[in-house]
Amino acid sequence: MMIEIHNLTYTYPEEITPALDQVRLEIDAGQLVVLEGNSGSGKSTLLGSINGLVPHFYGGRFAGQVKVEGLDTRYAHPGELASRVGTVFQEPESRFITGSVLEEIVFGLEATGLEAAEMRRRVADIAQRLNLVELMHRPLGKLSGGEQQRVALAVAMGRQPKVLLLDEPTSQLDQPTAEAVLSWLIELHDSLGLTTLVAEHRLEGLGKLASRRLILSNGRLTEQRAAFPSAGGEPLGQSPGRRPGGLLAGCDGKGRMLSPVPDLSFRLNYQGSPPRLSVKGLAAGYDLRPVLSDVCLDVHPGEIVALVGRNGSGKTTLLRSLMGLLPPRTGEVWLDGVRIDGRKVAEVARRMAYVPQWPGTLLFADSVRDELTLTLRHHGLDQNPPLLPEELLSELGLDKVAGRYPRDLSAGERQRAAIAAVIVTKPDLLLLDEPTLGMDASTQESLGGLLHRLRKDGMSVLIATHDQSFAHRFSDRVAGLEGGRIIGEVSLGESPAPFPYEQAQPMSGEALRPRPGRGRHA
Amino acid sequence: MNVEALGGDHTERRKPVGRHPVAWMIWAVCAGGTAMLLRNPWHLAVVIVVSLIVRWRATGERPNRTTFGLLLGMMALPAILNIFFSRAGDTVLLRLPLGWLGGPYTLEALLFGVTAGAQIASLLTVMFIFGSVVKPVDLLRRTPAALYPAGVAATIGMSFVSQVRKSFIGLREAQQIRGYEPRSLRDLPSVTGPLLVLTLESAYGVAEGLAVRGFGNAVGSRAQGRIMNSGLAILAVGLSVWAFAPAGLPLGAIFVLVGGVLLWEARRRAGVPRRYEWEKWTRADAVVTGLCLGELTVHAILAFLAPGLLTYYPYPRASWPQFLWPLAMAAILLSAPVWSIHDD
């Protein structure tokens, strides 16, 4: 037996409710086990109990026993377990130690005492498999979220551990990279007999790989089924179902059909109507590195546009440029006929809200409820809030944690808290960077429903995402970004399949050039 | 296949090319050691200026107004504190009838505070430059497994300034996104509290990352680990005897010697550590190391034989601190890295 967990009950310091409650689990060597559960159900904690961070690093009350290849984690520290267990965290950037990609991968390998030649062979292999060759000397801080996650995977897999723990490993990866990662998992699984435990919301690609499927709910391992309902599984990223009329329906991780996709039949006829957001010939970049060039894009009132593209294609840079956090080098950004590029971010923020990819820094109040109040106060709306905070929290499933310290929440809950904190002012345009990161299927459904309710009130939404399933289910239009350029657009219903990057031709800037109609800096 | 052979984006690599990490470590020990032995403000100023030039050459970042502002602040704070709380000295600048805070404010107290501030500033400058030119990972790689907590603390310490800066940028952006822009000092708490939380969280994340990577659990037998720990403990006892019981110099030397032998043996048993790629130790590294060690030796000998040459004591009546050209020239040897760094 590779992993044995006997009656594990664990409570974090200063908490009353256990994060894991009487968990019993046995995993044979070579099994690939998928761990499901809603945000905050205890998935990351269970992984932490296997790599020894629970309880050695976090403290808290620990009862029961966890053994990894016979090694009792109560007595073996994470450092000792590291030779057996590799871990990929949900937010990899905060765990990086060195300065560059190569150093980061090499650092873990050097501790193993491998020969230099073997280290070089492994590094080259990893770099090629995870498409990291061009990034090897790049500073870690200048990588996109997806690139950082690939590096974290490379670090964990470099040591070729017997057990691999992955906390949402493909949540930030685009479809081709996610498929490459999963195919490598199969290869490692087959060739090395690797035991793998994956906490993942994105289950489509794992169906055919997983030996077992575990479900965690409120810290209890409530269900344990032999296999996925559909052993074949859908190709990763492909939409799981399609409703008549070209609309797509999803299924949650348990194979149940989700609630019907919100009615999109009222989709507006945008032809001829002035755009809410109009981007003209935008170019932006970091230091000497250009990222975006000649980006042209319109978003109309009440429209939900998904911006899809591979990791590093410039999605985040575009949203940051629109918000003013990264001043454009050239080009113009118009919001309802008012030119906004060059204006102060705090000024723009009243009408255009932005939720970054990792919203950790966005949350700094004492409670989730206070986060919403804080935003309202900054905009002078606390006496007359456009959206009622309690209702919004309830809609996003945060009512039960409204009084909790936001930074103690799970990744999915933090994401929702950040969204609530910026949309409570009911902005005209909402920019979301990878909003489904760390969200389970039901929460994604709630978010999609909320976006559609908001758009009925006229709010426009621009979503940067590589989750094509979410993009196709909840957006009116999908725009593809590749190499810093918009390479094409498809409307919902016309093409429910993943965005055809290969076939898309770069779009002419002139063809998309908007006509704002009103003056500069009005 | 080597990754170098695979190509890749080299545009982000640091230029110009610096010295071997061990040479930098020796430079930092020598510059820091000199700063600790000195109390003469002129010679401390030489150490600070030399250090700033070294950083400029090594990183390409020239000292700016903020750098000098921080240095002045570090010198001013002890001066202000000392003039308020020390009543010694003959040269009274001001006499205030203010109860416990009142009394004579003396020039000597001011000068003593300034020299203490100059010493603190020079030490922090050296540490700051060390953090700029040596990557935390270079230090971690050379940290014995037995010193795991020290390695983690050093890594976090060395990346503290850059982490605070990163957290501050993230926080400022987040506040702007939420429609908030701090305008005056009264808004400072809204920045400092979250900044502290973010920075501590980041340090926590680094420690977590180190733990799961097996840092502190390097390859080696348990016996080797025990020898290493014993060596470190005995060495610490020897150094403590030297520091706190000067009469026990021979006894301390025995402890230091035994500790050193045990550490050597532990190192021998551990074998040659594995590296992906060894940094090249060049003749220039040897020259830098030799010059810096020579400089520290001169100051250490003077500290035993003629300590008056290194210190400045303004009490009871202030006198002008003397500037000794030979000592200043010795301190200038610390600029050796400047002349040996070459452009890529």
Q: How do beta strands A61-68 and A32-36 pair?
A: unpaired
Minimum distance, in Å, between the CA of residue B212 and any CA atom of chain A? 5
Residue B267: inside a domain? no
Task: Using CB atoms, pick whichever of B205, B211, B273 lies closest to residue A79.
Answer: B211
Contact B213 A77 (CB under 8 A): no
Q: What DSSP string runs through A364-396? A: -SSSHHHHHHHHHHHTT-SSS-SS-HHHHHHHT
Contact A97 B140 (CB under 8 A): yes
Residue B228: inside a domain? no
Closest-CA residue of chain A to B276: A116
Contact B136 A98 (CB under 8 A): yes
Contact A155 B213 (CB under 8 A): yes
Per-residue confidence (pLDDT) for residue A205, from 0 to 100: 59
Residue B68: inside a domain? yes
- For residues B335 and A245, give the distance between their C-alpha atoms in angstroms, rounded to a whole number: 75
Q: How far is CA A344 from CA A40, A429, B176, in A?
A: 36, 16, 8
Is residue B50 within 8 A of residue B332, CB to CB? The reply is yes
For the structural domain made of A3-225, what CATH number should be given?
3.40.50.300
- For residues A425 and A306, give the distance between their C-alpha atoms in angstroms, rounded to a whole number: 22
Q: Name chain A contacts of B215, Cβ cutoff 8 Å.
A: 79, 111
Contact B211 A121 (CB under 8 A): no
Contact A102 B273 (CB under 8 A): no
Stronger pLDDT, A54 or A251, i.e. the higher one: A54
List the one residue out of A427, A471, A484, A429 whose CA is nearest residue A277: A429
Minimum distance, in Å, between the CA of residue B48 and any CA atom of chain A? 27
Minimum distance, in Å, between the CA of residue A489 and any CA atom of chain B? 28
- Each residue's pLDDT tens digit, B207-219: 888 888 877 665 5
Q: Do domains A3-225 and A274-351+428-522 have the same CATH topology?
A: yes
Per-residue confidence (pLDDT) for residue A228, from 0 to 100: 53
Contact A96 B209 (CB under 8 A): yes
Per-residue confidence (pLDDT) for residue B139, from 0 to 100: 83
- Each residue's pLDDT tens digit, A168-226: 877 766 666 677 667 666 776 677 678 889 887 666 656 666 788 888 988 998 765 55
- Each residue's pLDDT tens digit, B157-198: 777 777 787 888 888 888 899 888 777 777 777 888 888 888
Give bridge partners of residue A382 from the DSSP assignment.
none
How do the residues of chain A divide into helix, strand and coil, expressed in percent and rounded to 5?
A: 35, 25, 45
Q: What is the ipTM of this complex?
A: 0.71
Instruction: Please name the amino acid found at residue A240.
Output: P
Per-residue confidence (pLDDT) for residue A11, from 0 to 100: 95
Token pair listed for B95 = 């006499």
Provide the b/e sequence for B141-159 (b: ≥16 CB within 10 Å). Answer: bebbbbbbeebbebbbebb
pLDDT at B61 over 80: yes
Per-residue confidence (pLDDT) for residue A329, from 0 to 100: 93
List the one residue out of A67, A48, A51 whose CA is nearest residue A10: A48
**Confidence grade of residue A36 (pLDDT, cut at 50, 70, 90):** confident
Question: How many A/B residue pairs have CB atoms within 8 Å?
Answer: 195
Closest-CA residue of chain B to A381: B179
Q: Name chain A contacts of B275, Cβ cutoff 8 Å.
A: 110, 116
Q: Name chain A contacts of B173, Cβ cutoff 8 Å.
A: 325, 345, 356, 361
Q: Name chain A contacts of B148, Cβ cutoff 8 Å.
A: 79
pLDDT at A517 over 80: no
Share of chain A above pLDDT 70, in %: 79
Contact B141 A110 (CB under 8 A): yes
Closest-CA residue of chain A to B278: A116
Task: Using CB atoms, pick whichever of A123, A142, A323 lies closest to residue B177.
Answer: A323
Contact B174 A109 (CB under 8 A): no
Per-residue confidence (pLDDT) for residue A370, from 0 to 100: 94
Residue B231: inside a domain? no
Residues in contact with B262: Cβ distance below 8 Å, sequence separation at least 6, in sequence order: B227, B228, B230, B231, B234
Most confident listed range (A148-152, A272-276, A360-364, B325-329): B325-329
pLDDT at A161 over 70: yes
Cis before A389 (ω within 30): no
Please, is A260 exposed, middle or buried when counting C-beta atoms within 10 Å of its C-beta (0-12, 13-18, 19+)? exposed
- For residues A470 and A306, give the distance between their C-alpha atoms in angstroms, rounded to a whole number: 9
Per-residue confidence (pLDDT) for residue A518, from 0 to 100: 35
Contact B174 A100 (CB under 8 A): no
Cis before A235 (ω within 30): no
Minimum distance, in Å, between the CA of residue B12 and any CA atom of chain A? 6
Q: Where are the domains of chain A?
A: 3-225, 274-351+428-522, 357-426
Mean pLDDT of A143-160: 82
Residue B1: inside a domain? no
Contact A346 B170 (CB under 8 A): no
Provide the b/e sequence for B279-288 (b: ≥16 CB within 10 Å). Answer: eeeeebbeeb
Is residue A34 within 8 A of residue A214, CB to CB? The reply is yes
- For residues B295 and B293, give the distance between their C-alpha atoms in angstroms, rounded to a whole number: 5
Closest-CA residue of chain A to B209: A95
**For chain A, what is the mean pLDDT?**
79
The residue segments making up the domain with residue B333 are 15-219+280-340
Per-residue confidence (pLDDT) for residue A449, from 0 to 100: 86
Q: Name chain B contacts of A116, Cβ cutoff 8 Å.
A: 274-277
Contact A57 B208 (CB under 8 A): yes
Contact B9 A109 (CB under 8 A): no
| Lowest mean pLDDT across A49-58, A202-211, B41-50, B187-196 | A202-211
Contact A116 B177 (CB under 8 A): no
**Confidence grade of residue A254 (pLDDT, cut at 50, 70, 90):** very low
Which three-class secondary structure state does DSSP give residue A429? strand
- Each residue's pLDDT tens digit, A354-372: 999 878 778 888 899 999 9
Per-residue confidence (pLDDT) for residue A499, from 0 to 100: 47
- For residues A236 and A168, give the distance between their C-alpha atoms in angstroms, rounded to a whole number: 14
Per-residue confidence (pLDDT) for residue B275, from 0 to 100: 82
pLDDT at A18 over 60: yes
pLDDT at B105 over 80: yes
Mean pLDDT of B142-166: 74
Closest-CA residue of chain B to A133: B8
pLDDT at A414 over 60: yes
Contact B177 A350 (CB under 8 A): no
Closest-CA residue of chain B to A126: B3
Token pair listed for A152 = 């974290």
Stronger pLDDT, B50 or B150, i.e. the higher one: B50
Q: Name chain A contacts of B174, Cβ cutoff 8 Å.
A: 356, 361-362, 364
Is residue A152 within 8 A of residue A126, CB to CB? The reply is no
Closest-CA residue of chain B to A344: B176
Residues in contact with A7: Cβ distance below 8 Å, sequence separation at least 6, in sequence order: A22, A23, A24, A63, A64, A65
Contact B9 A137 (CB under 8 A): yes
Q: Name chain A contacts of B199, Cβ cutoff 8 Å.
A: none
- Each residue's pLDDT tens digit, A321-353: 999 999 999 999 999 999 999 899 988 998 999
pLDDT at A506 over 90: no
Instruction: Please name the amino acid found at residue A122.
Output: R
Task: Using CB atoms, pick whichever of A109, A138, A353 lies closest to residue B12.
Answer: A138
**pTM, two decimal places:** 0.71
Q: How many residues does chain B have?
A: 344
Give bridge partners of residue A352 from the DSSP assignment.
A429
Is residue A10 within 8 A of residue A55, CB to CB? The reply is yes
Contact A378 B179 (CB under 8 A): yes
Q: How do beta strands A352-355 and A338-339 pair?
A: unpaired
Per-residue confidence (pLDDT) for residue B151, from 0 to 100: 75
Angle value at C-alpha A150, between A147 and A155, nearest 5 degrees: 130
**Confidence grade of residue B296 (pLDDT, cut at 50, 70, 90):** very high
Per-residue confidence (pLDDT) for residue A438, from 0 to 100: 66
At residue A170, φ and ψ (nearest 5 deg) are: -110, 10
Token pair listed for B55 = 């950083």
- Each residue's pLDDT tens digit, A300-312: 999 999 998 887 7
Token pair listed for A377 = 């106060």
Contact A346 B212 (CB under 8 A): no
Is residue A321 within 8 A of residue A285, CB to CB? The reply is no
Mean pLDDT of A257-266: 37
At residue A519, φ and ψ (nearest 5 deg) are: -75, 170
Share of chain B above pLDDT 90, in %: 35
Contact A325 B176 (CB under 8 A): yes
Per-residue confidence (pLDDT) for residue B206, from 0 to 100: 83
- For residues A386 and A398, give the distance between their C-alpha atoms in angstroms, rounded to a whole number: 19
Is residue B19 within 8 A of residue B342, CB to CB? The reply is no
Per-residue confidence (pLDDT) for residue B6, from 0 to 100: 38
Angle value at C-alpha B10, between A482 and A141, nearest 5 degrees: 65
Start-to-end CA distance of chain A, whole Å, equals 69
Is residue A308 within 8 A of residue A471, CB to CB? The reply is yes
Residue B261: inside a domain? no
- For residues A267 and A276, give the distance between their C-alpha atoms in angstroms, rounded to a whole number: 16
Q: How do beta strands A429-433 and A352-355 pair?
A: parallel
Task: Using CB atoms, pick whichever of A95, A136, A139 lies closest to residue B8.
Answer: A136
Q: What is the dihedral of CA B303, B307, B309, B313, to 10 degrees?
A: 130
Share of chain A above pLDDT 90, in %: 33
pLDDT at A253 over 50: no
Q: What DSSP string runs through A2-68? A: -EEEEEEEEE-TT-SS-SEEEEEEEE-TT-EEEEE--TTSSHHHHHHHHHTHHHHTT-SEEEEEEEE
Mean pLDDT of B44-60: 92
Minimum distance, in Å, between the CA of residue B74 and any CA atom of chain A? 30
Residues in contact with A418: Cβ distance below 8 Å, sequence separation at least 6, in sequence order: A355, A356, A359, A362, A363, A371
Per-residue confidence (pLDDT) for residue A201, from 0 to 100: 67
Mean pLDDT of A87-112: 85
- Each residue's pLDDT tens digit, B242-271: 878 777 778 888 999 999 999 888 878 776
Please, is B309 exposed, middle or buried when counting C-beta atoms within 10 Å of its C-beta (0-12, 13-18, 19+)? middle
Give the total number of structural domains in chain B. Answer: 1
Q: How do beta strands A212-217 and A32-36 pair?
A: parallel
Domain A274-351+428-522: CATH superfamily is P-loop containing nucleotide triphosphate hydrolases (3.40.50.300)
Minimum distance, in Å, between the CA of residue A12 and any CA atom of chain B? 16
Please, is A290 exposed, middle or buried when counting C-beta atoms within 10 Å of its C-beta (0-12, 13-18, 19+)? middle
